[in-house]
């Protein structure tokens, strides 16, 4: 038996996120933003999880509940013709989704807002908008939610690079959007097997295949491609998005 790490810590090892400055973002049903840190932060918040990392130091993690889940919901409701059509029409919509905004709180929220009762929604709709605009708004909304998590974890700091995993990493549109919104290169990996791959690396470390975890990840984790920021400016959209939660919080129904 080898003492390694929890599921997210092992997944981070599988992406190489064992050194500060390299952030792992998982675009699964939920969205996970993860970064290794050398010391426990001086202040904590319930929205950010600070744990011991598998590298013997610490990590910070923010989790938004409806990430790929919100994208899947949009596909199920509006795109019976599948993800390919959804991505194509969302890309054609263009920056700003024709004025539409999407709050991705379809199952409440965990980060950056600890609020199980808040609801999601579309805002800024008009008769001129298409299903492609709504799809674009969903992609932008969940990406803004991931930036919210990262900004709460590490205020004012842009990561050196981001490793993107999960089913959403298959979408070139989404990964490009993530690079633009976060303002840093986003890398996809040759092997994207989640915690299992990280657990295998940790097993190899214990068995003596490697004697250092950083060296192990440098050898075992290989980048398939890198998507750099394109120059699209999402700052106005993000500012408008940040104004949605306070309004939605006021609209919550009693339970």
Which one, of 128, 145, 127, 136, lies nearest residue 97 by Cα?
136
DSSP output for the chain: ------HHHHHHHHHT--STTEEEEEESSSEEEEEEESS--SS--TTEEEEE-TTSSEEEEEEESSSHHHHHHHHHHH-TT-HHHHHHHHHHH-TTGGG-EEE--BTBB-SS--BTT---EEES--TT--HHHHHHHHHHHHHHHHHHHHHHHSTT---SEEEEESGGGG-HHHHHHHHHHHTS-EEEES---THHHHHHHHHHHHHTS-S-HHHHHHHH--EEEEE-------HHHHHHHHTHHHHHHHTPPP-
Single out the catalytic residue among 7, 81, 160, 225.
7
**Cβ atoms of residues 36 and 58 within 8 Å:** yes
Whether 180 sits among the annotated catalytic residues: the reply is no
Catalytic site residues? 7
């Amino acid at each position: 038996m080898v003492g390694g790490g929890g599921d997210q810590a092992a997944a981070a090892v599988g992406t190489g996120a064992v050194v500060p400055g390299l952030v792992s973002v998982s675009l699964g049903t939920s969205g996970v933003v993860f970064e290794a840190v050398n010391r426990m932060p001086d202040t904590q918040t319930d929205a950010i999880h600070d744990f011991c990392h598998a590298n013997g130091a610490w990590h910070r993690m923010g989790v938004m509940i409806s990430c790929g889940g919100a994208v899947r919901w949009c596909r199920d409701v509006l795109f019976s013709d599948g993800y390919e059509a959804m991505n194509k029409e969302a890309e054609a919509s263009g920056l700003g989704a024709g004025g539409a905004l999407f709050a991705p709180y379809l199952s409440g929220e965990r980060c950056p807002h600890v609020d199980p009762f808040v609801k999601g929604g579309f805002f800024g709709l008009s008769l001129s908008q298409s299903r492609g605009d709504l799809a674009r708004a969903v992609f932008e909304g969940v990406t803004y939610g991931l930036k919210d998590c990262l900004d709460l974890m590490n205020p004012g700091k842009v990561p050196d690079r981001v490793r993107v995993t999960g089913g959403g990493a298959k979408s070139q549109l989404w990964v490009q959007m993530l690079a633009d919104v976060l303002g840093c290169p986003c890398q996809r990996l040759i092997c994207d097997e989640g915690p299992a791959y990280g657990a295998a690396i940790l097993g190899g470390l214990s068995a003596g295949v490697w004697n250092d975890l950083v060296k192990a990840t440098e050898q075992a984790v290989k980048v398939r491609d890198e998507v750099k920021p394109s120059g699209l400016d999402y700052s106005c959209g993000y500012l408008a998005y940040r104004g949605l939660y306070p309004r939605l919080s006021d609209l919550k129904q009693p339970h």
